[in-house]
Amino acid sequence: MTRPNPTLARLVLAASGLLVATAALLPFVLVDERPDPLATRWSFDGEVTSTMSATALFVLVAVFVIPTATVLGGLALARSQARPGVRSMWAGLAALLGTIFAWASVSTLLANQGHEDWRTVPGPALWQLVVLLVASCIAGALAAWAASGLPERPVVPVSSPPLEVPDTSVVAWSRSLTVRWLLALAVVTGAAGVVLSLLSGEPWIGVVLLLSALPAVLLARIEVFADRRGLTVAYGPWGWPRTRIPIERIAAASPIEIRPSEWGGWGYRGSVRIFRTAAVVLRAGPGIRLDLTDGRRFAVTIDDPGTAAAVLERERRREPAP
């Protein structure tokens, strides 16, 4: 994906922050025919389960929306250089959350408009939730793309020495990493979903908890391969999905010490395509970093990263077979 020029990037970020704040707060002025208190939460049957005064809702929305809009506006005004991917990550997260909060404000006020009693206010339809999810993801991706055009601190690729083996040798490397506490969390979450579904008689509770346990299952175990094709990371007990970095895209491979705070925390962080930086961070410690030919970066925590980097450097520098 082509990065925008800095001027366009700043315009998009500033517009995103202004749009989020305006969409979230302006309806409080425009929508005047509403009950007091407002209906703010509904059951799946469409019955109101929670209410709130308009003032309390305004304060709640402002507390969440103003910081996200401020982050977007601050990024638009930033002039200094930052580590690659950092501003894209913050811009994407701010736009994603800001869109969600803005939708909550708009949809709640519009649902209450024209009703004298909060008990008669209908809840949101399923299609509205789908639109919210899609719109939030688009807003986050757009802001992250825009932030990728802001000035970044240059990163000089550092290559490891290539593995010294005969040219005729075929080399390959693999290691696996299992995070037991994450696997235990996935099991507990899935079991809680089943139990709560049976006790409450609401199957959707189990479905939601089981789906929330899936990312933990996939990240509880990874297997990393390095060979003539490049680097491959296989997730979960089934080895799927997979992240593949072809050897021709690798400009340098090097072992590093990974600190979660430098990559945005634990888990799968960022996106090579959108944020230009991604990392699979399952612990603090040794890992391998790939600097790609287009300036992007990818890293993964794994044991014995020095050998993996040496294998990739050997394959990267090999003369192609005639």
Weakly modelled stretches of the chain, pLDDT under 50: 322
CA–CA gap between residue 231 and residue 297 (Å, rounded): 13
Report the pLDDT value the prediction gives residue 249, as an integer from 0 to 100. 94
Q: Is 170 exposed, middle or buried (0-12, 13-18, 19+ CB in 10 A)?
A: exposed
Report the pLDDT value the prediction gives residue 167, as an integer from 0 to 100. 76
Report the pLDDT value the prediction gives residue 322, as an integer from 0 to 100. 45
Positive or negative torsion for Cα 200, 201, 207, 213: positive
Report the pLDDT value the prediction gives residue 319, as an integer from 0 to 100. 57
Report the pLDDT value the prediction gives residue 144, as an integer from 0 to 100. 87
| Domain limits, the chain | 6-147, 156-179+220-322, 180-213
Report the pLDDT value the prediction gives residue 41, as an integer from 0 to 100. 81
Strands (E), 95-190: 173-178
Q: Is 20 exposed, middle or buried (0-12, 13-18, 19+ CB in 10 A)?
A: buried
Tell me the HSE value of 10 on the side-chain side, using a 13 A CA sphere.
9
CA–CA gap between residue 26 and residue 30 (Å, rounded): 7
Q: Which two tokens stand for residue 261?
A: 């705070």
CA–CA gap between residue 104 and residue 218 (Å, rounded): 31
Burial 95-108 (b: 16+ CB within 10 A, else e): bbbbbbbbbbbbbb
Strands (E), the chain: 38-42, 48-52, 173-178, 221-227, 230-235, 242-246, 250-258, 267-271, 277-281, 285-292, 297-301
Residue with tokens 């072992």: 255
Is the separation of the CB atoms in 247 and 315 below 8 Å? yes
Report the pLDDT value the prediction gives residue 304, as an integer from 0 to 100. 94
The structural architecture, per CATH, of the domain 156-179+220-322 is Roll (2.30)
Is the separation of the CB atoms in 216 and 189 below 8 Å? yes
Report the pLDDT value the prediction gives residue 320, as an integer from 0 to 100. 56
CA–CA gap between residue 148 and residue 146 (Å, rounded): 5
Amino acid at 58: F
Q: Which of 211, 56, 39, 181 is nearest to 113 (CA)?
A: 39
Tell me if residue 279 falls in helix, strand or coil.
Answer: strand
Give the strand pairing for 277-281 and 297-301.
parallel
Report the pLDDT value the prediction gives residue 35, as an integer from 0 to 100. 85
**Number of other CB atoms surrounding residue 175 within 10 Å:** 16
Is the separation of the CB atoms in 225 and 242 below 8 Å? no
pTM of the model: 0.67
Q: Is 307 exposed, middle or buried (0-12, 13-18, 19+ CB in 10 A)?
A: middle
CA–CA gap between residue 223 and residue 307 (Å, rounded): 15
The CA-based diameter of the chain, rounded to the nearest angstrom, is 83
